[in-house]
Amino acid sequence: MDTTLSPFKIFSGTKSRYMAEEICKELGVELGSMKIEHFADGEFEVCFEESVRGCEVYLVQSTFPNCDNLMELLLMIDAAKRASAKSVIAVMPYFGWARQDRKDKPRVSIAAKLVSDMLVTAGVDRVITMDLHADQIQGFFNVPVDHLYASSVFIPYIQSLKLPDMVIATPDVGGAKRANNYAKYLDVPLVLCHKQRAKANVVAKMTVIGDVQDKNVILVDDMVDTAGTITKAADLMMENGAKSVRALASHAIMSDPATQRVNDSGLTEMIFTNSIPYTKDCPKCTIISVARLFADTIRRVHCNQSISSQYLIK
């Protein structure tokens, strides 16, 4: 790296330490020392145990449930600014609250906008994240947002499978653009699923639009929460004559009973990144690390280089 640039340091919140350690290993640097002290009432205090004055500070923290992860990140940003860091960059492999990106019914909050406002108010200078649930969330920030895509690790994995008669599918029309980009890049057909929800996390009815007879299907989504949609889509594909069904999803939220649903479903394989730690016993699940992707992005941001060459597809 250019030694004329200001030094940079990487720190981690409690639940994303595994990712920060992998990123530091890729960059060949030590993870910064930080202490989070908890009080009896559940409140906590963040303290950097080394100087960050004049440094670029990268804070690795996904904001998956519970809310302590978001609060930790906000306190880390505030502590770094007050310790005279030159700049503070939030590295958020998973940006939580992103499903609430608009008013889709009366009298509801837009949580994604609120979270972005809190991060900026705390003092963040830049955000690096991956596969936002809605692309327009980038516009909620008044600071630069580097939006990475898990396709850069998923595409090589799909190609390594060497599946004949492959089709790309999406479990709902909301993900049609993402799935279409995969289909165009791999030069294979696209199949859609149309779903009707009874309520949040509950699918009432689903229909397949396209031919999956004797095909190896790859379902593409950005996150899996309760796994109701993805497993219902997989079972429907198998009922319609598919040879096999695999699913790709960037973020393994996997709220109960998601693991059991995946194990019981017609899915051959469920492929996630490690943006969220997933440790439950699921023999069908494959986890692909995105630490190198984030490490390379940090290196490029630090050296003022373009990151667009990392994108296979968006």
- Residues acting as catalytic residues: 195
SS3 string, 214-240, reads: CCEEEEEEEEECCCHHHHHHHHHHHHC
Going 217 to 278 to 174 to 152, the CA torsion angle's sign is negative
Give CA–CA dist 64/15, Å, rounded. Answer: 9
Element (H, E) at 7: none
> Alpha carbon 253 to chain centroid distance?
10
Helices H, strands E: what count in the chain? 8, 14
Contacts for 95 with CB less than 8 Å, ≥ 6 apart: 62, 63, 112, 115, 129, 132, 133, 137
Local structure of 96: helix, strand or coil: coil
Please name the residue that has the structure tokens 């999803």: 249
Give CA–CA dist 187/166, Å, rounded. Answer: 10
Distances, alpha carbon 208 to alpha carbons 224, 236, 240, in Å: 19, 7, 8
Is residue 26 a contact partner of residue 295, using CB atoms and an 8 Å limit? yes
Task: Indicate the burial class of 126 (C-beta count within 10 angstroms; 0-12, 13-18, 19 or more).
Answer: middle
Contacts for 59 with CB less than 8 Å, ≥ 6 apart: 11, 12, 13, 73, 76, 77, 80, 88, 89, 90, 91
Bridge partners of residue 8, in order along the sequence: 56
